[in-house]
Amino acid sequence: MRFRGFLFIVLALIAVPAGAVESVRVPQDAAAIDLTNAVEKHASQEDRLQISTAPDSGGVVRRIEVEAKEPGTRPNWIVFALTNDTDEQVERLIVAPHFRLQDSGLVWPDLGASRISAITASQGSAPEREEASGADVFRLTLDPGTTITYVAELKTPNLPQLYLWEPDAYKDKVTSLTLYKGIVIGIAGLLALFLTIVFVVKGAVIFPAAAAGNMKLPLTTNRMVRNRASSPAMPMTMPW
């Protein structure tokens, strides 16, 4: 009986998929989801990575292998899974900002760089990269009732932030951020112009005053010479 109980425990542990990533549910009304703490980080010793996918709707876990874009390299990886438990197709954007101001580092600051090289999906088509400045953006599609595991090959050792955005919400965010940057640049330009004008006007006031002060000295010297020339000579008295 004890042996049967021990055998049952061993079989139960084997049945549980080791290393399977936990899936994140994607609601229809969610504008943005922070995936930074929901990803699993991996550092491979080869140019490929083997992982267990998140369980699908039927509880099936598969084992997949992803190869690096450049053979012979040993990049860092992240793994995450998304679930669409609705009856409608969902389109989202995976966004990895190149730079963040908070916690960017003081001694060795993170000055920003491209973060993600490519993303591979456990099933269906891979997310497509979109042209964007300041972030790595990939568009993905989740069919109804599916759970898909994604493996991202990183270009840098660290991934500060990772978000899942609704496309229209992300477009509005980028537009407002661009407007904010334009306002800041406009204010900085006006301030620089104002300081330039102040410097020019102040210089124009100071330099003529200095020139007028220098002109007074020759006029005073000329007057002293003229006064000496016009004054009568004093008679000299001889001692004898």
- Give 113-135 pLDDT, tens digit per residue: 789 999 999 998 899 999 988 89
Task: Give the CATH fold of the 18-165 domain.
Answer: Jelly Rolls (2.60.120)
The two tokens of residue 9 are 């425990």
Distance, in Å, from the CA atom of 191 to the CA atom of 178, rounded to the nearest integer, reads 20
Lowest mean pLDDT among 75-79, 105-109, 169-173: 105-109
Residue spans of alpha helices (H) in the chain: 2-15, 167-230
Domain spans of the chain, in order of start? 18-165, 167-224
Distance, in Å, from the CA atom of 34 to the CA atom of 140, rounded to the nearest integer, reads 16
Look at residue 78 in the predicted model and tell me its pLDDT. Answer: 94
Write down the number of H helices and E strands in the chain.
2, 12
Rounded to two decimals, the pTM is: 0.67
Percent of residues, the chain, with pLDDT higher than 70: 68
Percent of residues, the chain, with pLDDT higher than 90: 42
- Closest Cα partner for 80 from 150, 137, 135, 2? 150
The two tokens of residue 29 are 């009304």
